[in-house]
Amino acid sequence: MDKRLVVTRFAPSPTGYLHIGGLRTALFNYLYARKHGGKFLIRIEDTDLARNSKDAARAILESFAWVGLECDDEIIYQSERFPLYASYAKKLVEEGKAYYCYMSKEELEELRESQRAQGITPRYDNRYRDFTGTPPSDHTPVIRIKAPLDGEIVFDDGVKGRICVQAKELDDFIILRSDGSPTYNFVVAIDDALMGVTDVIRGDDHTSNTPKQILIYQALNFSIPKFYHIPMILNPDGKKLSKRDGAMGVMDYKLMGYLPEALLNFLVRLGWSYEDQEIFSLQEMRELFDAKDINSSASRYNQEKFLWLNQHYIKACDDTRLEALLQEFGAKLDEYEKPIKSLLFSALKDRSKTLVEFAAQLKDIQTPPKSYDEKMLQKVDSSALGVLAKIIDEEEFAQCFCALNPSKLESYLHNYAESSSVKIGKLMPALRLALLGKGGGIGVCEALLIIGQDQSIQRIQALLAHLS
């Protein structure tokens, strides 16, 4: 095991919701830190004052609280650190590693147009790099880093391997704008260094930023962290994941009835594996995850697997917690005694892939039918209706409700049907239609016991009246 103190971070921009790609990145950082007994930190990158949203920042932290990824220190907000960034920019100027650039927007656009006309990729031409003249009085300068004019920037990516970028591909990029606001690559390098970040695990869309950040580390004599750039999550067709495919806000999954442990289990398998294991508790993830095992190829979003995992965790959920969760979806369970509630949960866990589906099926059971499935009505056997009309008055039928035993009730129904010369295959659909108004759903015997004797009899009588 790595003996250094591993420090990782997740640094979202609060310009929108936290989507699952961002949560996966956070999860990988969290797990790697926990694996090595290190620290997981959160930094809110809110330097874009025009686009930042306080609501988005709160939603991001709400997402972390829901899935249970706790950070170790105070959350850092970059918008509160502008004086710090300005001091580092001026330090670099004083050391000759950065400089004031007085180029106006008009000059820059003119340069770009000229370069395009010559078939050259537009870029700043370093015209103020060694400027010693009198600065223009009518223009507030930016500060640019002095990028090397030759050589190469090399780093070993933990996912992609060795990456080499020629220095000539980088220009003297801006680190502090004329309004005093810092640029992304500048503040990221400073904050990662000051926060003691040792390992940066992030999306591979940041790979091109890394050479620029390395230049900042070097200019400020900071230690350079280890980088891991992870491939994006693709849709089932191998294209960029869209909202329709699943690229929604993390809290949307809560509203859709997913459990947080299912979401984390699903995300950890999008880019990482351990032998043939599919089910991972958060504790197992902490123990087994290693950044060096992150896949170098992109993963594909698989909705069926997600639903399968969610149902697994619904089944594993204890009844007390499940009841509390279902109340958020409008489920009403106070009317049931504990044995009935236990029977209800047992019956619906096997049939519910989401809490929304669970609550909907519960409502179907609780609500007396207002109409009946037409196809089932046409198939109802008159002899089965005759049995239903008689059975509701049988004492033994009433006693089955007291026993709360679906198997015992099923045996009774089979025996009663046989003694009445009616096939059980005709009786049960008629009974299901009376109770639920349609086909499908939980077992007929479970439905009878959950609905209860009085309500079950009322529903049977309602069907008989409807068909009379």
Tell me the angle at which helices 260-268 and 303-316 cross, rounded to the nearest 10 degrees: 140
Tell me the angle at which helices 453-467 and 444-451 cross, rounded to the nearest 10 degrees: 110
CB 349 within 8 A of CB 399: no
CB 359 within 8 A of CB 324: no
Burial class (CB in 10 A: 0-12, 13-18, 19+), 435: buried
What's the pLDDT at 180? 92
Q: Does pTM top 0.95 for this prediction?
A: no
pLDDT tens digits for range 230-246: 999 998 888 888 777 76
What's the pLDDT at 247? 62
Domains within the chain, CATH numbers bracketed: 81-230 (3.40.50.620), 319-366 (no CATH), 374-467 (1.10.10.350)
Beta bridge partners of 226: 199
Catalytic residue positions, numbered: 243
Task: Tell how strand 161-166 and strand 152-157 pair up.
Answer: antiparallel
Element (H, E) at 66: helix 54-67
pLDDT tens digits for range 23-52: 999 999 999 999 999 999 999 998 887 777
pLDDT tens digits for range 300-348: 999 999 999 999 999 999 999 999 999 999 998 988 889 999 999 999 9
E strand intervals along 36-134: 39-44, 76-77, 98-101
The token pair that represents 11 in the structure block? 């640094």
**What is the number of residues in the chain?**
468
d(CA 202, CA 127): 34
d(CA 385, CA 374): 16
For residue 450, pLDDT over 90 is answered with yes
Q: HSE (CB half, 13 Å, CA atoms) of 73? A: 16
Q: Which amino acid is at 401?
A: F
E strand intervals along 198-316: 199-203, 226-230, 233-234, 299-300
Kindly give, in sequence order, each residue whose CB lies less than 8 Å from that of residue 305, ignoring residues fewer than 6 positions away: 266, 269
The token pair that represents 64 in the structure block? 């972390």
d(CA 258, CA 358): 11
pLDDT tens digits for range 105-150: 888 889 889 889 998 888 888 889 999 888 887 889 999 999 999 9
Torsion angle defined by CA atoms of residues 407, 413, 415 and 421, in that order, rounded to the nearest 10 degrees: -150
